[in-house]
Amino acid sequence: MVARLTDAERAALAVSLPRWTLVPAAAGQADAIRRRFAFADFSAAFGFMARVALLAEQQGHHPDWSNVWNRVEITLSTHDAGGLTAQDVRLAQAIDRLDQA
Amino acid sequence: MVARLTDAERAALAVSLPRWTLVPAAAGQADAIRRRFAFADFSAAFGFMARVALLAEQQGHHPDWSNVWNRVEITLSTHDAGGLTAQDVRLAQAIDRLDQA
Amino acid sequence: MVARLTDAERAALAVSLPRWTLVPAAAGQADAIRRRFAFADFSAAFGFMARVALLAEQQGHHPDWSNVWNRVEITLSTHDAGGLTAQDVRLAQAIDRLDQA
Amino acid sequence: MVARLTDAERAALAVSLPRWTLVPAAAGQADAIRRRFAFADFSAAFGFMARVALLAEQQGHHPDWSNVWNRVEITLSTHDAGGLTAQDVRLAQAIDRLDQA
């Protein structure tokens, strides 16, 4: 099983993933990271979603995500581990690279 | 502008769209219809999402939707009209036809 | 039925669609326009393809296209009309706008 | 580097991949396997393509493929190896499983 991030690793996310927000654990919910994206229109948003889907399947790790027209919100957490792990960091970094491409 | 459904039209949705749930208007939120889908895995869920995206762009009417691995939840409402309209019904019917294909 | 482009309209494509190549009619084949695209990798190519699919379904006019890793080749012709029509020009222009986005 | 299939392995494809056609090597071209698919419409074809794209990226092995409306043709060969390898067989098998799902 993948280990959850330590407190030090969690604190380091502010530097390594500055565009993601740490969502603390709440009652019945694991902690997570979240990023919101806005595109020109639905087409651009969906083209991005197709690429995120490819990343997710490639990494065997899938987002909790939603879309409304030009907006996409992605939340990452590792359900099996009950919170944030290195798998979430890796997927977030790959998603960030798409956005810069 | 598209007219909102009348009360009679809204009541008829239980028959015409039996797999969709009517989500009543809440404070600051328009009424909507919602359906949850479960697939074998992420791949099947995303193949379905790609087809819903095609329908949305074809109809010029887009869902508020989310996905977690094999699950997809679609909520339809017409933002410009502040609630349910015939555009939502038409998109829901087209989505239902995908599911039966 | 959609009318085929006149010779004058066909000649004007060199100006309106400079990145597309006119493929003359051959035995048993209608004339067409063709453009080749190269992307950074498969992910970028497929993100683009998803957007072209949305355009095609929106316009009710579909490409003859192929992909090998980072390359996409799109050929447009109107089968019902037996050659190039304004529908091909419209789809090509919309695809060109994606590429500039 | 991945080894090309032996003659015995190539002959066994008729049993393990009965719906694929062996395309022998021609001048300047490696041997390959090819399958044609027909769907109800473009939407069904593109939903399938999205799933094949996920498989390709997951396996790090990509098809040479084309689409015209409801038809998809997929050709598999391993460019680095100059012909058919176990990577092509694995991707073909995964694609066949989609079609049965």
C28 burial level (CB within 10 Å; 0-12, 13-18, 19+): exposed
As a whole number, mean pLDDT of residues A26-53 equals 94
Higher pLDDT, B55 or D25: B55
The pLDDT of residue D1:
73
Which other chains touch chain B, taking contact as 3+ CB pairs less than 8 Å apart? A, C, D
C70 at the A interface (CB within 8 A)?
A: no
As a whole number, mean pLDDT of residues A4-24 equals 94
A54 at the D interface (CB within 8 A)?
A: yes
d(CA A20, CA A33): 6
Chains C, D: CB contacts within 8 A come to 39
Taking CA atoms, A88 is separated from A9, A53, A81, in Å, by 12, 14, 11
All residues of chain C having their beta carbon less than 8 Å from the beta carbon of residue A42 are 54
Does B58 contact C53 at a Cβ distance shorter than 8 Å?
no
D62 has pLDDT over 90? yes
Which other chains touch chain D, taking contact as 3+ CB pairs less than 8 Å apart? A, B, C
The pLDDT of residue A29:
80
As a whole number, mean pLDDT of residues B56-78 equals 97
All residues of chain D having their beta carbon less than 8 Å from the beta carbon of residue A57 are 54-55, 57-58
| CA-based nearest residue to A48, from C48, D60, B57 | C48
Name beta bridge partners: D68. C64, D71
Mean model confidence pLDDT for chain D: 94
B101 has pLDDT over 70? no
A65 at the B interface (CB within 8 A)?
A: yes
Higher pLDDT, D101 or C31: C31
Inter-residue contact A38 to A73 (CB < 8 Å): no
All residues of chain B having their beta carbon less than 8 Å from the beta carbon of residue A66 are 64-67
B40 at the D interface (CB within 8 A)?
A: yes
Instruction: Provide the pLDDT confidence category of residue B100 given band limits of 50, 70 and 90.
Output: low
Q: What are the tens digits of pLDDT across the range D79-91? A: 999 999 999 999 9
Closest-CA residue of B relative to A68 is B64
| Closest CA of chain A from D7, distance in Å | 32
ipTM of model over 0.90: yes
d(CA A15, CA A21): 11
All residues of chain B having their beta carbon less than 8 Å from the beta carbon of residue D48 are 47
d(CA C77, CA C82): 8
d(CA B72, CA B49): 8
Of D63, D64, D66, the CB nearest to C65: D66
d(CA B20, CA C99): 38
Inter-residue contact C46 to C40 (CB < 8 Å): no
Biggest CA–CA distance in chain B, Å, is 40
D58 has pLDDT over 70? yes
D86 Rama sector, left if φ>0, alpha if ψ -120 to 50, beta otherwise: alpha
The pLDDT of residue B29:
80
C50 has pLDDT over 90? yes
C15 has pLDDT over 90? yes
The pLDDT of residue B12:
94
Instruction: Provide the pLDDT confidence category of residue D6 given band limits of 50, 70 and 90.
Output: very high
D101 has pLDDT over 70? no
A59 at the D interface (CB within 8 A)?
A: no
All residues of chain A having their beta carbon less than 8 Å from the beta carbon of residue B53 are 42, 46
The pLDDT of residue C75:
97
A98 at the C interface (CB within 8 A)?
A: yes
